[in-house]
Structure 1
Amino acid sequence: MNPLRIGWIGVGAMGRPMCLNLLNAGYPVMVFDKTASQCEPVIAAGAAMTASPKDLMAAVDVVFSTIFNDEGLRDIVMSEDGLLAGAAGAGIHVDMSTVSPDVSATVAQALAQRGVQYLRAPVSGTVSLAASAQLSSYVSGPKEAFDAVRPVLACLTARQTYVGEAEEARVIKLMINLMVFMSTAVIGEGLAFGARAGLDRALMIDAINDSIVASPHYKTKAEKLKQREYSADGAISLVVKDLDLALAVARRNDAALPISSLVRQYLAMMQSRDMSHLDVAALADVLAMMSGHADAQDFRPSCPGP
């Protein structure tokens, strides 16, 4: 039996290692990115490149996408050269981005009208976890489509959890992101408390990671926090986008999120200080900045990235 032909849209920091994992697993992969140079590493590894999402949809069995925001998802699906234009009454689209449930539902309806099954499969994890296929994925949409692509998802993620038929996966991903952002602010409050009492920063971080409140997130960020080395794995600009999506869902559902709302104000303060390029771990130094015990110049990198 021939393997599924895979299309991939969005060959950036997360999409690139996932494409490489599929190629290593023996899947034929065709890629598209608006910035064609992004595709070069996967083309060198054996992928083909196409000129548009429309052409991609017509040439493969399953299209995956890793897109930055709502506008990007709408564009790759519904533009003149989008997936809908190349749909021939069959196929599966698996979007692994973090986008709003509203836009996702709009895309789902449009694809269904052309006979395309649509899976929402946002992933949780870092670029390094993407490279080692250790991401987690929460998937919603048609169950038969999930069953069909699960072997492919298993090449990309360590866990694939089916959670419902509609936008459940979108809400779960936003919930997890909320907790990541809040927990980063929480560790900052703990560090500020200990620092005022004279504790060593590295000692505090090690103590946290050896305690009942330890988490994979804290352990992943330990060295960044110790060194205040905030080169971006998850930039504040991206965090703001995700947090705003979650707060919009909360408003629509009359859900009170007081801590998340406070974290959003912390992020706004960091944006006003030209810190959007820093990693989300920099949230841990908000209180130190507010009290005058730290400044953006104390962080590395100290100047915006490209």
Structure 2
Amino acid sequence: MQTGFIGLGNLGLPIAENLSGIHKGLYVYNRTAAKAQPLADKGAVICTTVQELAAKCDVVFSIVSDDAALRHITEGPEGIAAHLKAGGIHISMSTILPATAAALDAVHQQHGSHYLSCPVMGRPEAARARKLNIMASGRPEAVNTIKPLLTDCGAAGIWEYGSDVKAAPLAKLCTNYLILSSVAAMAEGIHLARQGGIDAAQWMNMLTQTIFNAPIYNSYGSALLKEAYLPAGFGLKLALKDVNLVLQQSAATQGNMPVGKTVQELLQQAVAAGLGDHDVTAVAQIIIKNE
């Protein structure tokens, strides 16, 4: 199968590098073409348009910043759906609304191709270590076809959510909500410990070896203690985008998320303070500032 990859951001680039190391001649496209050069140096083929890439491929991966960007590269006369080979598969790895996935699935069906929701769980360092977890939903036969490619991307685990393309995006939104609320809570807890005069690193070490022995608390807790806000693994602007999607999805199902709204407000303040390109852990600066 001829394979293409669209979107070479912080997470997309290491995933594409994993693929390129196994699949020689990987077709790649990125809006900022210079970001594709490291892949070209390893044998990938740079395409100048989405249309050019899609027309060459049986399978196209995409991981772009938001719903609007995904619609832009998928829909319309120059999009993936109109040019992907007949029976081809579009693997969307972005964090988006379930409703967007359903709309794009319908577009692909009109063109005789398949759309799969495969959002990614893991930071760039997890991608490089091939320790990603990927959630998948869509037509079972198409999911089975691309499972080896997901492993090639760096997936340590593939978690299937059935045939509805809306399912995996919903699972990803719920996951990111827990990550973001955990980061905010850890930032507050670390600050509280420091203000009270105890060693916050010692306290976090105790937690991550006992009741909070989990990757999220280990990785984000370490970053919070180090105040390592640049370069961003998971940028604040993207984090705010995700919590906005969470609350939008909640509203669509008549839900109420008071904690989510508090996290949203903290992230909004952080972006407004000029921290949008920093790691999400920089929300700690807003928590300290708001004392």
Q: TM-score range by the shorter chain?
A: over 0.9
Residue of structure 1 equivalent to 2:161: 163
- Answering whether residue 102 of structure 2 is matched by residue 128 of structure 1, we say no
| Change in 2 beyond 3 A, CA 1:285/1:88 | closer
- Is the 2:57–2:84 Cα contact (8 Å) retained in structure 1? no
Residue 285 of structure 1 and its aligned partner are, at CA, apart by 4.6
| Change in 2 beyond 3 A, CA 1:288/1:51 | closer
Residue 84 of structure 1 and its aligned partner are, at CA, apart by 2.6
Residue of structure 1 equivalent to 2:186: 187
Match 1:111 to one of 99, 108, 113: 108
Q: Give the letter aligned to residue 58 of structure 1.
A: A
- Is the 2:186–2:221 Cα contact (8 Å) retained in structure 1? no
Give the SS at the match of 2:134. strand
| Change in 2 beyond 3 A, CA 1:117/1:225 | same
**Distance of 2:228 and 2:84 partners within structure 1:** 46
- Is the 2:191–2:288 Cα contact (8 Å) retained in structure 1? yes
- More off after superposition, 135-144 vs 228-237: 228-237
Per-residue displacement from partner, 1:157-199 (whole Å, max 9, x unpaired)? Answer: 1111110222100000000000001111111232233223211
- Is the 1:188–1:286 Cα contact (8 Å) retained in structure 2? no
- Is the 1:69–1:98 Cα contact (8 Å) retained in structure 2? yes
- Is the 1:31–1:48 Cα contact (8 Å) retained in structure 2? yes
- Answering whether residue 71 of structure 2 is matched by residue 74 of structure 1, we say yes
Q: Give the letter aligned to residue 104 of structure 2.
A: V
- Is the 2:10–2:233 Cα contact (8 Å) retained in structure 1? no
- Is the 1:6–1:27 Cα contact (8 Å) retained in structure 2? no
- Is the 1:224–1:230 Cα contact (8 Å) retained in structure 2? yes
Q: Give the letter aligned to residue 188 of structure 1.
A: A
CA RMSD of aligned residues (A): 1.6
Q: Report the TM-score, using the length of structure 2 for normalisation.
A: 0.94
Residue 27 of structure 1 and its aligned partner are, at CA, apart by 4.6
**Distance of 1:34 and 1:192 partners within structure 2:** 40
- More off after superposition, 78-87 vs 172-181: 78-87
Residue of structure 1 equivalent to 2:50: 53
**Distance of 1:278 and 1:31 partners within structure 2:** 27
Structure 2 residue runs without a partner (length 5+): none
The structure having more radius of gyration, on CA atoms, is 1
- Is the 2:67–2:100 Cα contact (8 Å) retained in structure 1? yes
Residue 23 of structure 1 and its aligned partner are, at CA, apart by 2.2
**Distance of 2:81 and 2:196 partners within structure 1:** 60
Per-residue displacement from partner, 1:93-134 (whole Å, max 9, x unpaired)? Answer: 101111121222111100111111110000000101112221
Residue 31 of structure 1 and its aligned partner are, at CA, apart by 0.9
Residue 33 of structure 1 and its aligned partner are, at CA, apart by 1.2
Instruction: Note the 1:1-306 alignment, pairs <5 A.
Output: 4-156=1-153, 157-166=155-164, 167-231=166-230, 232-291=232-291
Residue 88 of structure 1 and its aligned partner are, at CA, apart by 4.6
Q: Give the letter aligned to residue 256 of structure 1.
A: N
- More off after superposition, 85-94 vs 113-122: 85-94
- Is the 1:122–1:173 Cα contact (8 Å) retained in structure 2? yes
Residue 282 of structure 1 and its aligned partner are, at CA, apart by 2.3
Across the two proteins, how many residue pairs are aligned to each other?
Answer: 288
Q: Give the letter aligned to residue 13 of structure 2.
A: R
Q: Give the letter aligned to residue 161 of structure 1.
A: W
- Is the 2:58–2:85 Cα contact (8 Å) retained in structure 1? no
Structure 1 residue runs without a partner (length 5+): 292-306
Residue 49 of structure 1 and its aligned partner are, at CA, apart by 1.7
**Distance of 2:265 and 2:70 partners within structure 1:** 27
Runs of 4 or more off by more than 3 Å in structure 1? Answer: 284-287
Q: Report the TM-score, using the length of structure 1 for normalisation.
A: 0.89
**Distance of 1:226 and 1:88 partners within structure 2:** 49
Give the SS at the match of 1:136. strand
- Is the 2:187–2:224 Cα contact (8 Å) retained in structure 1? no
**Distance of 1:112 and 1:70 partners within structure 2:** 19
Residue 221 of structure 1 and its aligned partner are, at CA, apart by 2.4
